[in-house]
């Protein structure tokens, strides 16, 4: 997508505009690292510089996502946000409405891969057809999430009925990843915060909190 970036730069140069292009990538906590890497590669192909990609492992139904909030606090009027799918931004129609409102309020441009563009930059307004299409995708993303959850719930109930033990393995000192143990002392010494620890370990904040609680309960690594 080199052409996209070149076209964007030409248009910006004509306007004397120095707005930025940002990307957002998200994977659920149960998705593989390879998928977040693929998203970052594809965002780079769409013209987003690596340092301008915000990414995280969080559920698409969660409203308070650290990196998405950071992105929305970073952008300024005229900037562009690129995501590969509506579902990467959110799987909640309510949250999608909130994001669209913020796009309009801050006069930004939102690009969903090559499929849809919501241009609310100065001199532009979102047209009803585009907004309707975006909202329809949001409904489908939420519906897909609900269907998956129902299937998982049904599968768990069937497995339990057959006597299977369901649930994640109990946290022990042996199954805490080495990468967490490497950075955890720095967190204890307040040399980094939860968000930085989560990013370096490539783990969700939920997982990070779980390991921290386990170690604190055992009164280990309390420096």
- 3-state SS assignment for residue 59: coil
Residue 23 DSSP SS3:
strand
Enumerate the β-bridge partners of residue 53. 23
Stated as kind and residue range, the H or E segment containing 169 is: none
Element (H, E) at 110: strand 109-112
Cα distances from 140 to residues 18, 127, 133, 137, 144, in angstroms, run 35, 20, 11, 5, 6
Catalytic-residue membership of 92: no
Question: Distance between CA 163 and CA 131 in Å, rounded?
Answer: 48
Other Cβ atoms closer than 10 A to 70: 13
Question: For 14, phi and psi rounded to 5 degrees?
Answer: -60, -40
Residue 16 DSSP label: T
CA distance linking residue 209 with residue 203, whole number of Å:
10
Catalytic pick from 19, 28, 87, 198? 28
| Helices 194-201 and 178-188: angle between axes, nearest 10 degrees | 160
The answer to whether 183 and 192 are in contact (CB under 8 A) is: yes
Q: Could you give the residue numbers annotated as active site?
A: 28
């Amino acid at each position: 997508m080199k052409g996209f970036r070149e076209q964007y730069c030409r248009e910006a140069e004509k306007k004397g505009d120095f707005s930025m292009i940002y990307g957002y990538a998200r994977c659920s906590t149960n998705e593989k690292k390879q998928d977040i890497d693929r998203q970052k590669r594809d965002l780079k192909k769409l013209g987003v510089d690596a340092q301008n990609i915000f990414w995280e492992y969080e559920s698409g139904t969660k409203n308070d996502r650290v990196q998405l909030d950071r992105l929305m606090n970073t952008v300024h009027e005229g900037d562009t946000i690129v995501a590969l799918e509506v579902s990467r931004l959110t799987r909640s129609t309510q949250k999608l409405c909130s994001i669209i409102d913020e796009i309009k309020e801050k006069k930004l441009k939102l690009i969903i891969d090559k499929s849809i563009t919501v241009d609310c930059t100065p001199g532009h307004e979102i047209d009803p057809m585009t907004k309707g299409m975006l909202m329809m995708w949001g409904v489908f993303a939420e519906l897909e999430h609900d269907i998956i959850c129902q299937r998982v719930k049904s599968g768990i109930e069937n497995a339990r009925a057959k006597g299977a033990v369901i649930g994640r393995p109990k946290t022990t000192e042996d199954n805490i990843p080495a990468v967490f143990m490497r950075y955890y002392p720095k967190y204890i010494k307040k040399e980094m915060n939860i968000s930085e620890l989560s990013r370096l370990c490539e783990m969700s904040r939920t997982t990070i909190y779980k390991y921290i609680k386990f170690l604190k309960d055992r009164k280990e690594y309390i420096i």
